[in-house]
């Protein structure tokens, strides 16, 4: 979600809800709102150009027509690591779904200062003891949050980026990726967006093509 680690956010609200997994089994879920009081453009860019373009102009200014905007993020499920301080023991919340991002323009009427606050709505399983204890102990408090794509069969953006770099570089790096000429003419590297689609790249000797298709059933 963010390349930056230990992003300061406040756990503003939490509620219980229910949802079904891919097998139709119903689970109790916690739905929380995590707030960044003052969102820098650099952090918005880490979520992707499609997010930052709604909030900031090319010169970095807050868009003049922005009041409140809610975005539907294309973010795969995350592993959310939370700690009170950089050197403190962390809590790991697994398989976190990023449901929505809501940005609001804020203005200090006395000074005229303007900034953007960002609320991340996230959802995760309420059953694990560590998840419940974290909610109970830290509701209403700020902490340092680090987000990483869940592992498993997902490649992750870092791997895709490395593959693209190897194509641009050519030579031995490309030969290793493509199997050193053993009949492999293309490599496809994708990751799930958590919403039923796989996105990534298809790499051949001559080019890199975007991949965007439904996940196999």
pLDDT of residue 82: 95
Is the dihedral angle over the CA atoms 132, 136, 138, 141 positive or is it negative? positive
Alpha carbon distance 38, 195 (integer Å) = 29
Determine the 3-state secondary structure of 85 from DSSP: coil
- For the stretch 151-194, pLDDT in tens is 543 444 555 556 556 555 655 555 555 554 455 566 676 766 66
Cα–Cα distance list, 64 to 36, 68, 207 (Å): 20, 12, 39
- For the stretch 33-54, pLDDT in tens is 999 999 999 999 988 887 889 9
Range scoring the smallest mean pLDDT among 34-38, 142-146, 175-179, 210-214: 175-179
Confidence of residue 129 (pLDDT cuts 50, 70, 90): very high
The H or E element that residue 113 is part of is none
Task: Read off the pTM.
Answer: 0.67
pLDDT over threshold 90, residue 203: no
Determine the 3-state secondary structure of 17 from DSSP: strand
pLDDT of residue 154: 41
pLDDT of residue 199: 75
pLDDT over threshold 70, residue 216: no
Alpha carbon distance 75, 101 (integer Å) = 11
- For the stretch 51-96, pLDDT in tens is 889 999 988 999 988 999 998 877 889 999 999 887 777 899 999 9
The H or E element that residue 195 is part of is none
Domain boundaries, the chain: 7-149, 157-207
């Amino acid at each position: 979600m963010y390349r930056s680690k230990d992003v300061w956010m406040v756990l503003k609200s939490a509620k219980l809800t229910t949802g079904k997994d891919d097998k139709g089994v119903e689970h109790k879920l916690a739905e929380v709102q995590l707030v960044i009081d003052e969102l820098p453009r650099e952090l918005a860019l880490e979520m992707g150009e499609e997010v930052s373009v709604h909030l900031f102009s090319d010169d970095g200014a807050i868009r003049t027509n922005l009041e409140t905007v809610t975005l539907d993020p294309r973010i795969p499920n995350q592993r959310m690591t939370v700690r009170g301080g950089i050197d403190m023991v962390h809590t790991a919340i697994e398989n976190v779904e990023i449901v929505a991002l809501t940005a609001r323009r804020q203005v200090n009427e006395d000074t005229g200062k303007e900034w953007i606050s960002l609320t991340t709505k996230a959802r995760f399983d309420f059953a694990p003891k560590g998840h419940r204890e974290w909610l109970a102990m830290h509701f209403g408090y700020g902490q340092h949050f680090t987000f990483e794509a869940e592992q498993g069969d997902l490649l992750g953006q870092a791997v895709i980026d490395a593959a693209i770099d190897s194509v641009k570089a050519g030579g031995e790096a490309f030969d290793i990726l493509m199997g050193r000429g053993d009949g492999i003419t293309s490599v496809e590297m994708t990751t799930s967006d958590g919403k039923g689609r796989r996105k990534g790249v298809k790499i051949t000797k001559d080019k890199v093509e975007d991949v965007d298709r439904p996940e196999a059933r």
